[in-house]
Structure 1
Amino acid sequence: MLSDPVTPRFGANYVPSAGWFYSWLDYDGAAVRRDFADLAGLGLDHVRVFPVWPWIQPNRAIIRERAIEDLLDTVDAAAEHGLTVAVDLIQGHLSSFDFLPSWVLTWHKTSLFEDSTVRDGLTRYVDTVARAVAAKPNVFAITLGNEVNNLWPDSATSFESSTGWARELLTTVKKAAPGVLALHSVFDDVWYKADHPFHPADVVDLGDLSTVHSWVFNGVSQVDGPLGPATLSHADYLIELAVATSLDPTRPVWLQEIGVPGPDIPVELQGEFTRRTVGLVLANPALWGVTWWSSHDVDRRLLDFPDREYDLGLFTVDHQRKPAAQALADLIAEVRAHGIQHPQATSLTAPVNLRTEPHRRPEVAPGSEFHLRWVAARADGPVRIALPD
């Protein structure tokens, strides 16, 4: 039996074409508007933007108004191009680099997640920026930060600390921006690593909806190559893990990041990968939306990025549309013309309850026996994941 057609959201994680995120230091509203014209031309409806925390709050006592004004102009630029905006706050981690203010480093060095002084400073920052952006009618979501669990090796934490940290700051966001989605974002170690100190239940219990980030360089592309069924279905697999782990079976899941990293996905296959992997997640009724990483490439004149980070954009730095962009535009047009139907799904029970046995997470990781069984079953249609009692 097929459900009624629905239309998910489509967007891009905004990486400025000129100067990457260093562009916040020398803001150019005209350049932002040129970038957003690229994205609107694909039919996208939203962008996710990343103000850099230490450049807004370089001292615990200072919130730079000019930096907030530049962020608000970015939000206005999006509105001018028909785009709504999700704002991430704690950057934190971007394209393999960590950005932290000096007042949590050097002789102040402490845990971002456990130190009460840092928490006080962060709360002020989160409250101030959330209040400012929430005044803009096209801001629909505020995420605490981009993959904040990337920061833990240098900031001691535990299940209790990381959960409490996120819960308190989400409460701050909700008070500052009551009409906006408040979200918590982590990368997939939370689902797959036995000793990772962020709990998978946080993804599905905290915030107003669940977010997942699907990157095939986590090992899944080594299972069967760039267009193999495990690689193509990884995003759908993460969505199913989130749905299975949630206590609310109707809680939506936002595929907040997905992209075509090389060399895992060669350039000549990136359009096909995009069509097929997004096509699989569109059949999932839990899907809230798809947000591509990223809008634009990183200029290769900038040094010291991992090689894969330079070419993830839908557009080149000189605004040329790339194969993934065209594939995504075609999918968007097709969905808006015809809607989506959700075929009936089968079910497969995982060997581990991720809520109660997070130390057993490797048993559902890419390449595990369960994952490969799920991939084989997914070849015949959607497969819901059930957790054991």
Structure 2
Amino acid sequence: MTIQHPSPDRVRFGVNYVPSAGWFYSWLDFSADAVRRDFEDLAGLGLDHVRVFPIWPWIQPNRSLIRRRGIDELLELIDIAAEFDLDVAVDLLQGHLSSYDFLPSWVLTWHRRSLFTDPAVREGVIRYVDRVSRAASSRSNVFAITLGNEVNNLWPANPTDAAGSSGWAAELLRTVSAAAPYVLGLYSLYDAAWYDPEHPFHPVDAAELGDLTTVHSWVFNGVSTLDGPLGQATVSHADYLVELAAATAGDPARPVWLQEIGAPRPDVPDADAPAFVRRTLDLVLANPALWGVTWWCSHDLDRSLADFPEREYDLGLFTTAHRRKPLAVELAAVITEQRAAGRTARQQGRRGTAADRPGLLCEVDLRERPDRRREVAPGSAFHSEWVRQRGSGPLAIVPATRAADPKYLTTRGIGRLIEPTERS
């Protein structure tokens, strides 16, 4: 699918939908009324989309059985979103959600075999991906289909290597493209793919496979310990990850979707959450590669549900009683301001991009040397230098291997290059 390059005057804003009643277990007792009540909460924030998560083993409990009712309920949810003028992105293989893994019994116990490498499992997954993609794309408000939520969290319980994970994703994305040619086909990974040198899911796949790059920015990965909940390293992490993704892509115009970002406790205390929203978005919205922002998540998790990590219970923009929280108020304000600025830019015939940014040279080529990922991870010398200089304004990352390519630099809006040791 061909998509236009983004600009900050038309960034998309959405939310990852977590049902207020029953978490994702609510798919077992689907209630259209409950979904409609949740989407009514979201409609007032200025959001334009929701990302939704059908649970894979409840739709495909056997390799040769795909439940029609499960698909019908997903379609009903998509139709309810349309009532509130919300577009929908559908994730397929759940897979991993909020510290729990949901896998069908036909890849477990006596049938234990890797999701990524076993041929019989691959055949079953392809059937599921094809069926759900065809159904979802029948709705005009569906704009994206992602293979699953952070599928690399399912390793090492499902063994694979770099070639196996890459081939798996490429084949499934071809399946999505054939079944749903007019929607975005996407690949979703958590940030070990960018920072862990031993991880068998590589940056080049995140930056090449699918129609755009998705990144998930979570400051509980250690970045919040560098300088606190509102420190520069913490509030710039989303921008850093978007920029790292943009720098890794072969196509300098490839967009990046900030598909997940949230304000997790205790890393970001409640009192600091609105300021975290404001400062984080102010920084990342200046990035010309940014395609969209999707907040995690819509609603808090009911504390009657046991055994979740503590931070998972209070990530919502709304409480389970549908009360709008202060960080939701701040998010809505940012969206309103951004849309107004976009209208002004369009009326004046200009793009709101950060043109002629400086670019910080990076000696680590993540495409060719994923074994050097630790050298760009939070807290590394390179990251620390980028954070320091980002305090003076928008700052690109430029692989040293592309520093002499003027077309590349121009496409990415980079006006001059900075050596990592240079002091401004």
Q: Return the TM-score normalized by structure 2.
A: 0.90
Of 251, 260, 281, 1:257 maps to 260
Residue aligning to 1:345: 357
| Counterpart residue number, 2:117 | 114
- Residue 257 of structure 1: SS of its match in structure 2? strand
Residue in 1 aligned with 2:370?
358
Structure 1: 5+ residue stretches without partners: none
Match of 1:295 among 298, 303, 312: 298
The aligned runs of 1:116-195 (5 Å cut-off) are 116-195=119-198
CA RMSD of aligned residues (A): 1.1
Q: Mean alpha-carbon deviation: is it higher for 376-385 or for 341-350?
A: 341-350
Unaligned runs of at least 5 residues, structure 2: 1-5, 346-351, 402-424
1:269 aligned onto 2:272: yes
Distance, in Å, in 2 between the alignment partners of 1:275 and 1:101 is 40
Matching of residue 387 in structure 1 with residue 390 in structure 2? no
1:202-213 matches, within 5 Å, as: 202-213=205-216
1:14 aligns with 2:17: yes
Three-state SS of the structure 2 residue aligned to 1:6 is helix
Letter in 2 for 1:120: E
Whether the 8 Å CA contact 1:351–1:363 is kept in 2: the answer is no
1:148-187 Cα distance to aligned partner (Å, 9 max, x none): 0000110111110000000000000000001010000000
Deviations along 1:68-113, one digit per CA (max 9) or x if unpaired, are 1100000001000000000000000000000000000001101110
Q: CA deviation at 1:5?
A: 6.1
Query: Does residue 53 of the first structure (1) align with residue 56 of the second (2)?
Result: yes
1:373 to 367, 385, 390: 385
| SS of alignment partner, residue 154 of structure 1 | coil
Contact 2:8 2:285 in 1 (8 A): no
Partner of 1:87: 90
Whole-Å Cα distance in 2 between the matches of residues 327 and 197 of structure 1? 38
**Residues 100 and 5 (structure 1 numbering): CA distance in 2 closer, same or farther, change over 3 Å?**
closer
Partner secondary structure for residue 46 of structure 2: coil
Instruction: Choose which of 182, 200, 207 in structure 1 pairs with 2:203.
Output: 200
Q: Distance in 2 between matches of 1:93 and 1:334?
A: 34
Q: Name the CA distance, whole Å, in 2 between partners of 1:138 and 1:8.
A: 17
- 1:68 is the counterpart of 2:80: no
Q: CA deviation at 1:17?
A: 0.2
Provide the residue aligned with 1:306 in structure 2: 309
- Kindly state the Cα deviation for residue 194 of structure 1 after the two structures are TM-superposed: 0.8
Q: Could you tell me which amino acid in structure 1 is paired with residue 380 of structure 2? A: S
In structure 1, what is the equivalent of residue 414 of structure 2? Answer: none
For 1:280, the equivalent position in structure 2 comes to: 283
SS at 2:156 equivalent: helix
Instruction: Give the whole-Å Cα distance in 2 for the aligned partners of 1:363 and 1:146.
Output: 26
Is 2:147–2:188's contact at 8 Å kept on the other side of the alignment? Answer: yes
Query: Which segments of structure 1 move beyond 6 Å, counting only runs of 4 or more?
Result: none
Matched position secondary structure for 1:316: coil
